[in-house]
Structure 1
Amino acid sequence: MVTTRGSTPGRRDRKKAATRQALADAALKLFLERGYDNVTVKEIAEAADTAIATLFAHFPAGKEALILADSGERLESLTAAVRERADGTSVLDALHAFFAARGPFNENLPEEYRVRMDLVLRTPALWAYARTVWVACQAPLAELLAEAAGLDEPGDSEHLLARYVLETPDLASSRPDRLAALGEAFARLKRGWPQL
């Protein structure tokens, strides 16, 4: 939703946000009741009292985006984790803490979020889409890593590290002790990139 700093959203923006929320809520309800693969976009649109064209106008990526759309939240959060880290905190420690507080690693998330995460973890199409949207942050994360290292632009090393960082939660979340696996992965990354 686009607003200027300090302003409240206009009627049109509120209506768009309400439509997006109605579509996302309808999708989640239907997916939980019948399973992701047994629900069509037509059924979701009907449940939200909208047209299929409206659904795709708000969620061009289709069914997966109804559960995992974030309007740039992932990249904004990664950027904040790196740029707003506490003095004396390494970039990799900040990214480790960032991921440990999200998704399948945080046991204290609100119930609605946990329900969504469980759905993603047990639905191959959603899991694959989640991985895709995270990996899409590779180039911007490499830029952030270069910035933190005092470089003018990222090199192969920063791109490689960015990819490893973004793949780590996907790999760790499939392990029996997810949080321990995440910690072990970041410990190894810190040994490979001690300057970050």
Structure 2
Amino acid sequence: MPRTTTDTATGPSPAPVGRRERKKAATRRAIADAALRLFLERGYDEVGIREIADAADVSTTTLFKHFPVKEALVFDEETDRETHLLAAVRERPEGRSIPAALREHALTTRLVSADGDARFAAFTDLVTRTPALRDYGQKMWLRHTTALARVIAEESGRPADDPACTALAHFALEAPRAAYPHATPREVVDRAFDLLEEGWNALVRSEA
């Protein structure tokens, strides 16, 4: 996935990594960049694993050590994505509801908004028109449901296993997927979050 300015994390600088870790990270990045370049040029289904390995100057064995399946070559920043997702809830401005914070995150991250970035627009088009990538990307994204539900519970003072928190987390993560087939994805995501926020606020009012 192409990196954008929204990928920049805040907070203390990470501890320095060793030479071996830096080399592994550089190899992973070279493979992912080569794969994305080829996919954008020719289409996901038209590019083979061996071609990607050759373009990155690695063996296919090395490629599979970093990316166990072909789809993973396109989605290589899951840890960063979860960090930013949880921060959107924990670090929301005072007075902003949890659904509103999740709405803002959905509308300003790479899930929906390219903000004029041509490379990102091409990436989004690639995922949208490739069923295998759409399904894999959504499966990876929904893996964050448990972590998000836990943070929602913490921030709302609810039990860790509260089903309302799990439901909000799940549907907030599902919402951007509804935007894929539409020409106006921001409008679609807004409508989805209108429903989520109305339901969450009704729950909060009923317990007040």
TM-score by length of structure 1 reads 0.90
Identity fraction in percent = 41
Q: Does 1:37 align with 2:45?
A: yes
Contact 2:53 2:60 in 1 (8 A): yes
Contact 2:179 2:186 in 1 (8 A): yes
Contact 1:103 1:114 in 2 (8 A): no
Give the corresponding residue for 2:5: none
Contact 2:88 2:105 in 1 (8 A): yes
- Say how many residue pairs are matched: 192
Residues 14-50 of structure 1: CA deviation (Å, up to 9, x unaligned):
2112111110111112212221112121221111111
Q: Does 1:129 align with 2:136?
A: yes
Report the Cα distance in structure 1 between the residues aligned to 2:36 and 2:182, rounded to whole angstroms: 25
Higher relative contact order (CA 8 A, sep 6+): 2
Contact 1:135 1:167 in 2 (8 A): yes
Q: Return the letter of the residue paired with 2:188.
A: A
Give the corresponding residue for 1:103: 110
Report the Cα distance in structure 1 between the residues aligned to 2:35 and 2:188, rounded to whole angstroms: 31
Contact 1:175 1:181 in 2 (8 A): yes
Give the corresponding residue for 2:4: none
Q: Return the letter of the residue paired with 1:159.
A: T
1:51-70 aligned within 5 A: 51-60=59-68, 62-70=69-77
Report the Cα distance in structure 2 between the residues aligned to 1:104 and 1:173, rounded to whole angstroms: 10
Give the corresponding residue for 1:85: 92
1:12 to 12, 20, 25: 20
Give the corresponding residue for 2:6: none
TM-score by length of structure 2 reads 0.85
RMSD: 1.9
1:28 to 2, 24, 36: 36
Q: Does 1:170 align with 2:141?
A: no
Q: Return the letter of the residue paired with 2:110.
A: G
Deviation at 1:5, TM superposition (A): 5.1
Report the Cα distance in structure 1 between the residues aligned to 2:186 and 2:59, rounded to whole angstroms: 42
Structure 2: 5+ residue stretches without partners: 1-11
